[in-house]
Amino acid sequence: MPFWKQFVLCIVVIMAGFAAWVYFVPSAGQTMRNAGIPDNIIAMISPKADETADAGAGQALGQGDQNQGQGQSRRNGGGGGGRNAATLVVTQAVVQGVVNDRLNAIGTGDAIRSVAVTPQATGTIREILIKSGDMVKQGQVLAKLDSEEQVIAQGQAQVALNSALEKSSLYHNIKSSVSRMDVFDSEIAEQNARLQLQAADLNLARRNIVAPIDGIVGIVPVNIGDNVTTSTPIVTLDDRTEILIDYWVPERFANTVSVGQVVEATSVARPGKVFSGVLEAVDNRIDAASRTLRLRGRIDNSSDELRAGMSFSVSMKFAGDKYPAVNPLSVQWDAQGSFVWQVTGDKSHKVRVTVVQRNPDYVLVKADLKDGDQIVTQGLQRVRENGAVRTATDLASNEKVASQ
Q: Which of 299, 293, 296 is nearest to 281 (CA)?
A: 296
Looking at 201, 228, 255, the residue that finishes a domain is 228
pLDDT band of 65, cuts 50, 70, 90: very low
CB 11 within 8 A of CB 4: no
Distance CA 71, CA 66 (A): 9
pLDDT band of 177, cuts 50, 70, 90: low
User: Which DSSP helix (H) or strand (E) runs through 251?
Assistant: none
Across the range 90-103, mean pLDDT stands at 85
Could you tell me if 257 and 295 lie in one domain?
yes
Looking at 209, 228, 247, the residue that finishes a domain is 228
State yes or no: pLDDT of 136 exceeds 90.
yes
Could you tell me if 271 and 354 lie in one domain?
no
State yes or no: pLDDT of 202 exceeds 90.
yes
Cα-based torsion angle of the residue sequence 168, 170, 172, 178 in order, rounded to the nearest 10 degrees: -100
Residue 193 lies in a domain: yes
We report the CATH number of the domain holding residue 247 as: 2.40.30.170
Could you tell me if 311 and 354 lie in one domain?
no
What pTM does this model have? Answer: 0.55
State yes or no: pLDDT of 258 exceeds 50.
yes
Q: Which of 32-36, 121-125, 302-306 has the lowest mean pLDDT?
A: 32-36
pLDDT band of 175, cuts 50, 70, 90: low
Could you tell me if 90 and 131 lie in one domain?
no
pLDDT band of 181, cuts 50, 70, 90: confident
Q: Break the chain down into helix, strand, coil percent, rounded to 5.
A: 35, 35, 30
Could you tell me if 125 and 209 lie in one domain?
yes
Cα-based torsion angle of the residue sequence 196, 201, 207, 212 in order, rounded to the nearest 10 degrees: -120
Could you tell me if 67 and 20 lie in one domain?
yes
Residue 79 lies in a domain: no
pLDDT band of 381, cuts 50, 70, 90: confident
State yes or no: pLDDT of 14 exceeds 90.
no
State yes or no: pLDDT of 397 exceeds 60.
no
Across the range 207-230, mean pLDDT stands at 94
CB 136 within 8 A of CB 211: yes
State yes or no: pLDDT of 278 exceeds 90.
yes
Distance CA 267, CA 250 (A): 22
CB 264 within 8 A of CB 315: yes
What is residue 76's predicted lDDT score, i.e. its pLDDT?
40
State yes or no: pLDDT of 241 exceeds 50.
yes
Angle between helices 148-173 and 180-205 (to 10 degrees): 160
| The amino acid at 66 | Q
Q: Which of 113-122, 181-190, 312-321 has the lowest mean pLDDT?
A: 181-190
Could you tell me if 239 and 281 lie in one domain?
yes
What is residue 180's predicted lDDT score, i.e. its pLDDT?
76
Q: Is 343 left (phi over 0), alpha (psi -120 to 50) or beta?
A: beta
Looking at 303, 320, 337, the residue that finishes a domain is 320
User: Which DSSP helix (H) or strand (E) runs through 286?
Assistant: strand 270-287
CB 34 within 8 A of CB 27: no
Distance CA 396, CA 393 (A): 5
Could you tell me if 316 and 326 lie in one domain?
no
Output 180 or 266, whichever has higher pLDDT: 266
Q: Residue 267: how many CA atoms within 13 Å on its side-chain side?
A: 18
> What average pLDDT is seen over the chain?
83
Residue 155 lies in a domain: yes
- Using only C-alpha atoms, what is the Rg of the chain? 46
Range of the domain at 279: 104-111+234-320
Distance CA 211, CA 227 (A): 20
| In the chain, % of residues over pLDDT 90 | 53
Could you tell me if 272 and 259 lie in one domain?
yes
334-352 tens-digit pLDDT: 999 999 999 998 899 999 9
Contacts of 76 (CB under 8 A, 6+ apart): none
State yes or no: pLDDT of 322 exceeds 60.
yes
Number of independent structural domains in the chain? 4
How many CB atoms sit inside 10 A of residue 150's CB? 20
Could you tell me if 157 and 197 lie in one domain?
yes
Could you tell me if 217 and 175 lie in one domain?
yes
Residue 81 lies in a domain: no
Could you tell me if 129 and 220 lie in one domain?
yes
Distance CA 72, CA 237 (A): 92
We report the CATH number of the domain holding residue 372 as: 2.40.420.20
Q: Which of 57-61, 90-94, 154-158, 244-248 has the lowest mean pLDDT?
A: 57-61
User: 27: helix, coil or strand?
Assistant: coil
State yes or no: pLDDT of 66 exceeds 60.
no
